Amino acid sequence: MSRVTVWYDSQCPLCRREIATMRRLDRTNRIAFVDLHGDGTCPRDRGAMLARFHAQEDGVLYQGAAAFAAMWRQIPLLRPLGLAARNRLVLAGLEVAYRGFLHLRPLLQRLARSFEPAAPR
């Protein structure tokens, strides 16, 4: 397996939870996580990368469901799903689900923020 780079939005409560879970599952450190709000470099426009999930595998930059699949292939528990996504029909179905999620994302972000502890004053 190759190493994968994943760019994420550290200011999004959903993204923080997702990345924390992926870090726990990535026991062999095969994934490099880059915070889009940090000092890391972006291979594309930062706004475009914040709008959709991006990952790079074997020099190929993926976005959306394909990026998730690239990340999943690095994690033994999720690898079967990542491999299944190499089938264009499976990937197309995952992309439809991902686009549906993007429509709900603002609402889910607000909901997730409401469960976060208040910042100290």
Would you list the DSSP string of 34-98? EETTTT---SS-HHHHHHS-EEEETTEEEETHHHHHHHHTTSTTTHHHHHHTTSHHHHHHHHHHH
Q: Which long-range contacts (CB under 8 A, 24 or more apart) does 100-103 make?
A: 102/52
- Find where tokens 């062999």 sit: 28
Q: How confident is the model at residue 116 (pLDDT cuts 50, 70, 90)?
A: confident
pLDDT digits (tens, 9 = 90+) for 72-89: 999 999 999 999 999 999
Query: Who's near 58: CB < 8 A, 6+ residues apart?
Result: 2
Domain locations in the chain?
4-114
pLDDT digits (tens, 9 = 90+) for 23-52: 999 999 999 999 999 887 888 889 999 999
Q: How confident is the model at residue 120 (pLDDT cuts 50, 70, 90)?
A: low
